[in-house]
Chains A and B, each alone.
Chain A
Amino acid sequence: MAALTFNNVWKRYDQVEAVKNLNLDIRDGEFLCLLGPSGCGKSSSLRMIAGLEFISEGEISLGGQRINELEPRHRDIAMVFESYALYPQKTVYDNMANPLRLRKMSKDEIDRRVKETAAILEIERLLGRRPSQLSGGQKQRVAIGRCLVREPKAFLFDEPIAHLDAKLRARMRGELKHIQKTLGTTTVYVTHDQLEGMSMADRIAIMRDGVLQQVATPHEIFNRPANVWVATFIGDPPMNVLNAEVQTADGGLVARAPEYTIAIPDRQAAALSNARLTDGKVQIGIRPEALRLSQTPDAAHPIAGRIYAVQPLGDVEIVDVRVGDERILVKTELGTIQNEDIDVPVFMGYKPEKLYFFDAVTGEAVYE
C-alpha cells in the first residue's frame, strides 16, 4: 500500500495533449475516482500509473518513489481492464495464479492465495473453467481476482463494470467498494459514469480535455462545484444554467434576463461585485430538484414559462419548461401539475440559497 502522486504530469501523443499538467495526490488507502467524458485524459492518466504509457513530462511517484522509468512488471501495481483481458487458453485458476507464478511463489502458497481470493469473490466453483465459459459478471470477478491475489501497492480499474448490465452494475458497485474498504489498498478507478464515481469514491477527480477540473469528495463536488462545467456534468438530470446580467436594483444586486429577474442573495452579492464579471454577464445554476412548480402565478413562483414536455419517472417526473429561448428542467413529484399539455403556462419558484452563480466567461463558480 502506498500513496500515489502526479507532479506536473503531461501526456502528449504527437500533436494531441491528452493530459495537461496534472497535479494530484492520491492518499494511501484512498479510493479515488478519475471521472470525465471520453477523451478527457483519465485513461491516459491511469495508463501512465500502470506504465503502459510513457510519461511525456513530469513525475509520478508511488510510495514516495519515482516510477517513471520502471517497467510495468516492476511497479507492483495491479490493473483490471475494461475488457477483462483474461487469458482465453488458461483456466480461471491459472489466470489467477499467473501473477504469483511469475513471482516464483511456492505451489502451496499460490494454491492457498488463489483459493482464498476465490472465496472472497465467490468464484470457487468456477476455478476449473475457461473464460469462454463465463458470463460477463463472472469474467469481471476473475479479472479482479487476478489483481487481488497479488496484494499489490495499488489497484487500477479502467471502466471495469462498463460492459455489465445495469442491474449487475449496481450490485458490483457495492461489491467493489466493500472489497476496497476491506483491503484498504490505494485504488484509482476510471469511469465516465458519474453514478459510479459518486457512489464509490472517497474523492473524485474530474477531468475535461486533459485538464483537472476539481478534486473533492462526492458531496463537495455535488454541492460546491468548482465551475459551471463540473456543475452540469454531475447530477441527473443536469443542472439548469441560465444566462443573465448582473444589475443594481433597490440597493442590492439582481440577475436580469428578458423573461425574469432573480434577486441575488446578499452573501453572494458581495462576491459577485468583487468578482469582475465581463460585461456583468453571469450564469445562474439551479438543479432541477431545487425548483418548485405551480400552475398559478404567485410571488413564490416568479419565473413564467410554458410546458415543452413531461417525462414521468415512476414517483417523480421531469418537466421540461420553455422560458424565452431557454429550456429549464424541473424535477418534481408526480401530480404537481394537473394539465401536462404542451404550451400550458407554468410558474417556477426557487430557494435563493440553492442558486449557483458562475462567471459567464471563465465559468468559475462564485461563492460567498
Chain B
Amino acid sequence: MAVNTAARGTSAGVDPSGPNKPTPRRYLAPLLLPAVILLALLSIYPFVWLIYMSFNAVGLAPGAPNEFVGFDNWSRMFSDSQYWESWGILAKYSVVSMVLEVGLGTLLAILLNRSKHEKLLITILLMPMMMAPVVAGLLWQYLYNGTFGWYFWILRSLGLLDEGTILGSSDIALWAIVAVDVWEWTPLVALIVLSGLKLVPQDQMEASWMDGAGPVRSFFQVALPAIKGSLMIAILLRFMDNIRIIDHFIALTGGGPANSTKILPLYLYEQSFSFFELGYGASIALTLLLVTILFGKLVVNRFEEREENPAKKDEELV
C-alpha cells in the first residue's frame, strides 16, 4: 500500500509540466516511510531495548528471565569511582587528540593548498585512513614495542625514556595512543579543511592584503570565517569518533597499565562482555550516548547560528 502510493508520488515528481516542482506535501509521508521503518528497526528498537536493559539484571542464558532492578544499575554507576575515572581519561584523550588533529590538520591543509604536488600528497596522506583502526593499533604496537620498537629505541637513545616501556608507563601510555589517533586521522581533518580552503574567496584575501594585513591577519580575517563550517564538521566528526573509540586501546594497552588508559568505552566493554554485567553496561552506554548527542547538538547549533545570518533587505538606495 505504502509502496503503491510512493510510486504514484514519484511519477508526480517527474511531471513534465514542471520538473523542478517540489513534491506535494501529501506524498512526503509515504515516500519517507520505508526509510523510517528501516531506521526504526536498526536503531530505535535497539535504543529502546538498551534503556530497558539499564533497569534490569539481564539474564545471560538463552530464555533466562530478566530481573527488574529499578535504578540499581544507575545508582551503582554514580558511586563507581572507576566509571568517573574512565570519563576523565576519555575526556583527556578525546579533547587532546581532537585539538591536535584539528590544529595540525588545518596547518597541513594550508600547506597542501599552497603545494604544487597537492594531488600526490593527498594520496599519500590518505593511506593511514585506509587502514582499519585495529590494524593501525597493531602496527603501532610494533613501533612502541619495548624490545624492538622504533619509537622505543629512539626515545631511549634520546634519553627521553629512562626506564620502562612506552606502553608500560602509566604517564605516557595514553599520550602514545593519542599519537596513533593523530597519525591516523589528522589527514582526514586536513582534507575537510582543504575543501573549505578551496572556497576561501581570493578577492577578499587580496582586498585584505591591500588593506594592509599580513598573512596571519588575513588568514584570521578572511580564511577562517570561510572555513568555519568545515572546521565544525571536522570537530564534530573527530569528537564523535574519539568518544566511542576502542580499537586502538584494545590493540595497544587493553586499558593498562594500572587502568591508566581505561577509557569509558573500554570500561563499558569490560563490564558488558568480560563480566557480563549487561544491565550495568547499558547504563554506561546510555550516558556515553547522551554526552555525544549533547555535544553534537552544541556544535550543530553553533553552525546553524552562523549560517542563518540575517539577510533582511531594506529598500534599496543607489
Which of A57-65, A69-77, A315-323, A328-336 forms part of the interface with chain B? A69-77
Partner of B316, one of A83, A88, A138: A138
B213 within 8 A of A: yes
Tell me the B176-225 residues at the A interface (CB within 8 Å): 201, 203-204, 206-214, 217, 221-222, 225
CB nearest to A50 among chain B residues: B210
Which residues of A are in contact with B by a Cβ distance under 8 Å? 50-52, 71-73, 77-79, 81-83, 85-89, 98-99, 102-103, 122, 125-126, 129-130, 132-133, 135, 137-138, 146, 168, 171
- Provide the bound-state CA to CA distance between A138 and B315, in Å: 12
A99 close to B211 (CB less than 8 A): yes
CB nearest to A72 among chain B residues: B209
User: Given A73-B214, A132-B309, A133-B311, do A81 and B207 touch, yes or no (CB 8 Å)?
Assistant: yes
Residues in B whose Cβ lies below 8 Å from that of A129:
314
Residues in B whose Cβ lies below 8 Å from that of A103:
212
B318 close to A168 (CB less than 8 A): yes
B206 close to A85 (CB less than 8 A): yes
- Provide the bound-state CA to CA distance between A82 and B203, in Å: 9
Partner of B314, one of A71, A132, A133: A133
- Provide 8 A-B residue pairs closer than 8 Å at the C-beta atoms, listed in order of the A residue: A52-B210, A77-B210, A85-B206, A99-B210, A99-B212, A125-B317, A135-B317, A138-B316
- Provide the bound-state CA to CA distance between A173 and B59, in Å: 85
B317 close to A126 (CB less than 8 A): yes
A87 close to B204 (CB less than 8 A): yes
Q: How far is the CB of A165 from chain B (nearest CB, A)?
A: 9
User: Given A83-B203, A87-B222, A133-B312, do A102 and B318 touch, yes or no (CB 8 Å)?
Assistant: no
A137 close to B318 (CB less than 8 A): yes
Residues in A whose Cβ lies below 8 Å from that of B212:
73, 99, 102-103
- Provide the bound-state CA to CA distance between A81 and B211, in Å: 12
CB nearest to B211 among chain A residues: A99
Residues in A whose Cβ lies below 8 Å from that of B318:
135, 137-138, 168, 171
Residues in B whose Cβ lies below 8 Å from that of A83:
201, 203
CB nearest to B213 among chain A residues: A102
- Provide the bound-state CA to CA distance between A99 and B212, in Å: 6
Partner of B209, one of A71, A86, A122, A125: A71
